[in-house]
């Protein structure tokens, strides 16, 4: 059985959405770990038990692109989640001007993100709060998704202003229109925004409020027509926006390849039902131009 005695507490790494995160040594394995202390104090009786049971299910999400949840244990009024320790995250990479991101690097980061997403979505787990700072990066360059499933299990507890702002930029249009029946598409939208951010080296759609966020999305892709997204008008917070034409996507991403723009557009598709899935995105190959077969030597001109 696990007790908090297993870990030797180290420095505080930061304060996150759910509580403080500190570095620790796992004396059982001699590994460095990150312990996320989740305050449950304000929750009703019974939430502890439910949260604990559901979080334990996350331990089953074994994948090279999902951060390993090593251990979960209650301590006083907290729930402590023990994760493998990661050196860096994608936000730090994007912001570090000394790091050159080639198109091969961007492709590789996207592939790792999509692989992690595909694995979770296969098991019906959504992330719901994907952003560059919860794509963690190991010393060997491996990217792993962090905080999977926590948003649904724990809700979004008194998010401070900073958290709210950053999360908004990656929020899918159906969420901004108040959809309650959203699915895996919300993670794909966020991944598309991250893809764009890797190319631009700055956040793509920086809304200053939820309304402004939709405005930024429509300025980039045009206001959606009903034919493009039939369910839009029945969403709880739907409001009609002034018509705005879409500028050519190429003008926003002058350096991107055709393939990159194509996949970006499929990830940032308005209707979540038409949006590409993680698995489809991984299998996506640009359609090759039909090319006439090479004629065998000497047979090209019959006598």
The interface with ligand ADP within residues 36-95 (CB under 6 A) comprises 36, 67, 83, 85-86, 89
With beta carbons less than 8 A apart as the criterion, state whether 59 and 150 touch.
no
User: Catalytic: 212?
Assistant: no
**Should residue 197 be labelled a site residue for ligand ADP when binding is judged by CB under 6 A?**
no
With beta carbons less than 8 A apart as the criterion, state whether 185 and 177 touch.
no
Across the chain, the runs of DSSP E, i.e. the strands, are 7-15, 20-26, 31-39, 69-75, 78-84, 88-89, 135-137, 143-145
- The residue annotated as part of the active site, out of 26, 63, 89, 129, is 129
The binder of ligand ADP chosen from 4, 133, 279, 280 (CB under 6 A)? 133
**Should residue 136 be labelled a site residue for ligand ADP when binding is judged by CB under 6 A?**
yes
Query: Which of these segments, 69-77, 131-139, 172-180, 198-206, binds ligand ADP (CB under 6 A)?
Result: 131-139
- Tokens linked to 116: 């992690």
Please, which residues bridge with residue 7 across strands?
26
From residue 146, give the alpha-carbon distance in Å to each of 36, 134, 212: 11, 5, 28
Nearer to ligand ADP, 36 or 275 (CB): 36
With beta carbons less than 8 A apart as the criterion, state whether 241 and 224 touch.
no
> How many CB atoms lie under 10 A from the CB of residue 51?
20
The 86-125 contact track toward ligand ADP, x by CB under 6 A, reads x--x------------------------------------
**Should residue 187 be labelled a site residue for ligand ADP when binding is judged by CB under 6 A?**
no
The binder of ligand ADP chosen from 4, 10, 16, 271 (CB under 6 A)? 16
Question: Looking at the annotation, which residues are catalytic?
Answer: 129
- Interface with ligand ADP by CB under 6 A: which residues? 13-14, 16-17, 21, 34, 36, 67, 83, 85-86, 89, 133-134, 136, 146-147, 163
């Amino acid at each position: 059985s696990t007790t908090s005695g297993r870990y030797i507490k180290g420095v505080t790494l930061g304060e996150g959405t759910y509580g403080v995160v500190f570095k620790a040594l796992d004396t059982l394995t001699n590994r460095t770990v990150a312990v996320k202390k989740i305050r449950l104090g304000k929750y009703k009786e019974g939430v502890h038990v439910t949260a604990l049971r559901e979080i334990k299910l996350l331990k089953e999400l074994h994948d090279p692109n999902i951060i390993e949840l090593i251990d979960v244990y209650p301590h006083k009024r907290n729930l402590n989640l023990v994760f493998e320790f990661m050196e860096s995250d994608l936000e730090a990479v994007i912001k570090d001007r000394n790091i050159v991101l080639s198109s091969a690097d961007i492709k590789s980061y996207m592939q790792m993100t999509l692989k992690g997403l595909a694995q979770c979505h296969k098991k019906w787990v959504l992330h719901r709060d994907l952003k560059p700072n919860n794509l963690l990066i190991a010393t060997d360059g491996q990217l792993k998704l962090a905080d999977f499933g926590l948003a649904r299990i724990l809700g979004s507890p008194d998010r401070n202003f900073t958290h709210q702002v950053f999360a908004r930029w990656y929020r899918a249009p159906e969420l901004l229109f108040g959809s309650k029946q959203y699915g895996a598409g919300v993670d794909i939208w966020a991944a598309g925004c991250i893809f764009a951010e890797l190319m631009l080296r700055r956040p793509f759609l920086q809304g200053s409020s939820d309304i402004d966020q939709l405005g930024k999305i429509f300025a980039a892709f045009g206001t959606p027509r009903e034919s493009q997204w039939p369910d839009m008008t029945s969403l709880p917070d739907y409001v009609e926006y002034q018509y705005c034409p879409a500028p050519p996507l190429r003008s926003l991403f002058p350096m991107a390849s055709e393939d990159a723009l194509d996949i970006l557009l499929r990830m940032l598709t308005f209707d979540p039902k038409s949006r590409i899935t993680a698995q489809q995105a991984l299998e996506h190959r640009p359609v090759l131009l039909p090319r006439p077969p090479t004629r065998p030597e000497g047979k090209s001109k019959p006598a």
